[in-house]
Structure 1
């Protein structure tokens, strides 16, 4: 059995390389574009009245966080497999609701449209919507709130920012 695992892992790695190359050819996305997008997006987040305080209360040294986000978006956008964290767990206890996810998406979309070619921006934005929806559902569930399809997370006890 152990002789089969390296072959399977190797085949998966080869398949990932092909998928990444196909995505890059179709969208023009590369690691440099991902870094530019992530840095531009988080510059906007840090200056945002709603999102800035949420991030500032948890991140004091931004560069390690940005490095993780480069790996995360590389994995999401290019299927590179660079990210190995647990993003859901890191977000479950944040003091956020639907307003925060809407703002996150608006800033992300604006940044992607400003910095990326159209096909690349569309690719990033589609994935960002899935991520936001998934994390919003996770945060709701972690707080004992079960959302119905299309329902948004509303938390009355959050401070206005």
Structure 2
């Protein structure tokens, strides 16, 4: 039996980014760089489908896009994770929520490491939750 359905993933992604778009810390970052939210949400649903259902449908390069953003901090990644966990806690499928949380932690850490290595190549990268 599959961990979840595409519909559950889509609901989770839409609920999460509805929070992000209203968040005092994250909304300015996201809204400044995303022109077409419908397209972005579809792309993100495909990303999470590839992670949670192993569909392999995602075609994209998140690292360069995130590295190009100005002024990212560990605190922004922590806020992103906190909102993600708030969203997954409300999902009926808690098996999906648990797996999604673990993957979100890895995604955030990977993007934060890449960001630090690019913007501060001589420094030792820190953990998102250090």
After TM superposition, the score normalised by the length of structure 2 is 0.91
Q: Where does residue 82 of structure 1 map in the other structure? A: 57
Q: Where does residue 3 of structure 1 map in the other structure? A: none
Alignment size in residue pairs: 126
- Aligned structure 1 segments of 4 or more residues deviating by more than 4 angstroms: none
Could you give the per-residue CA deviations for residues 109-150 of structure 1, whole angstroms, max 9, x where no partner exists? Answer: 1101112422111010000000000000001011024335xx
Matched residues in 2 for 1:33 and 1:126: separation?
17
Q: Which runs of 5+ in 1 are unaligned?
A: 1-21, 154-161
* Secondary structure in structure 2 of the residue aligned to 1:81: coil
Larger Rg over CA atoms: 1
Q: Where does residue 31 of structure 1 map in the other structure? A: 6
CA contact (8 A) 2:88 2:101 kept: yes
Matched residues in 2 for 1:58 and 1:71: separation?
19
Identify the match of residue 53 of structure 1 among 24, 28, 35: 28
Q: Which runs of 5+ in 2 are unaligned?
A: none
* Secondary structure in structure 2 of the residue aligned to 1:49: coil
Q: Does 1:70 align with 2:34?
A: no
Q: Say what the alpha-carbon RMSD is for the aligned residues.
A: 1.4
The 3 A distance-change label for structure 1 pair 124 and 116 is farther
TM superposition shift of 1:152: 4.1
TM superposition shift of 1:60: 2.1
CA contact (8 A) 2:19 2:83 kept: yes
Q: Where does residue 73 of structure 2 map in the other structure? A: 97
Identify the match of residue 18 of structure 2 among 37, 43, 53: 43
Matched residues in 2 for 1:104 and 1:89: separation?
18
After TM superposition, the score normalised by the length of structure 1 is 0.74
